[in-house]
Amino acid sequence: MLKKKERYTVAVVGATGAVGNEMVEILEERDFPVERLRLFASERSEGKTLTFQESEIPVETLKEDSFKDIDIALFSAGAERSKIWAPIAAASGCVVIDNSSQWRMDPEVPLVVPEVNAHDLKKHKGIIANPNCSTIQMVVVLKPIHDAARIKRVVVTTFQSVSGTGKKAMDELLQQTTDILNFREVKCNVYPHQIAFNILPHIDKFLDNGYTKEEMKMVNETKKILGDDSIKVTATTVRVPVFRCHSESLNIETEKKITPNEVRAVLAEAPGIVVFDAPEKNVYPLPIDVAGKDETYVGRIREDDSVEHGINMWIVADNLRKGAALNAVQIAEKLVEMAE
């Protein structure tokens, strides 16, 4: 476990990426007890600086001894780098909170959303996994419903923004939009098809079962986080021409009957959720309203009449914040609370 201190030495690995940048900003916003901040990225970023608490912090390249005296390391540098460097960091006595897919389904590594399963942090052996962005916002909503009425099955369709792929994808959407509006040829580098003014039912690689890796992440991670393999989950993940925020259409089947008003009441009391649901006044969550927010917004809550105990809803969250950087920092905050 983390040793109790007044302030901690914190590292951000992958600091110059979209999520890494967000991690640095959130550490400052939430006044995390940072004694010293170290920033790491690839060789091409060495010499750059990022601003933290009115100081310019230099970006360093990782070395074998980089994690000496670091208490907590927030990783957002991809699975390959995490596979190499997270065990090195953990062996140095540092607690790693990793945003990649590398450790999520490792049975020895807790997969944590603080509002849902913070208790699993007690099991960590130096590495903690941050779930997939689309899974995080979904399980925040599923947990209170599961506690109230026990979920049997979830059908989810996601509408995921290009920032989930990274800065190059955001640049590509902007460039393609500009080119189309100026009657220029559209070039595709990040995605296999044009993303501007289009929708791609394809996130990550296709697997032998016809699903994509992203879809199977949602299936497997949901069961691990909720600690219940009996929940049936099926997912279709879709990339949409939105810069920031993932939206999801959820269909939930429960064992016990739960009405839409009961769902609203349960979710209104749950941490990290805003019920934003008055469709008669055109009030429902939209990416343009949720961008930059910490909470998961829920609306369009209604009964599914096609099954005995069914509920439909629409959820939106900022994928760079709750879907990645914020969740990692919240895990770090829980570790500080639990420090001995």
CB proximity list for 253: less than 8 A, separation 6 or greater: 151, 152, 153, 154, 304, 307, 309, 310
Active site residue 245: no
Give tens-digit pLDDT for 165-211. Answer: 999 999 999 999 999 999 999 999 999 999 999 999 999 999 999 99
Average pLDDT over residues 47-57: 94
Task: State the catalytic residue, choosing from 133, 146, 245, 309.
Answer: 133
- What is the mean predicted confidence (pLDDT) over 266-282? 98
Pick the catalytic residue: 124, 146, 246, 309?
Answer: 246
pLDDT for the residue numbered 231: 98
pLDDT over threshold 90, residue 112: yes
Q: Mind listing the pLDDT tens digit for each residue in 291-300?
A: 999 999 999 9
pLDDT tier, 163 (very low <50, low <70, confident <90, very high otherwise): very high
Q: Could you tell me the domains of the chain?
A: 8-131+324-338 (3.40.50.720), 135-320 (3.30.360.10)
Higher-confidence position of 167 and 215? 215
Q: 303-319 burial, b if ≥16 CB within 10 A, otherwise e? A: eeeeeebbbbbbbbbbb
Q: What pLDDT is stored for residue 43 in this prediction?
A: 86
Largest Cα separation within the chain, whole Å, is 62
Mean predicted lDDT score pLDDT of the chain = 97
* 172: CB partners within 8 A, 6+ apart: 162, 188, 189, 190, 191, 195
Listing from the earlier edge strand, what are the strands of the sheet with 310-317? 232-239, 151-160, 246-254, 310-317, 296-303, 273-275
pLDDT digit string, tens, across residues 6-49: 999 999 999 999 899 999 999 999 999 999 999 999 888 888 99
- 94 catalytic residue (yes or no): no
The pTM for the full model equals 0.95
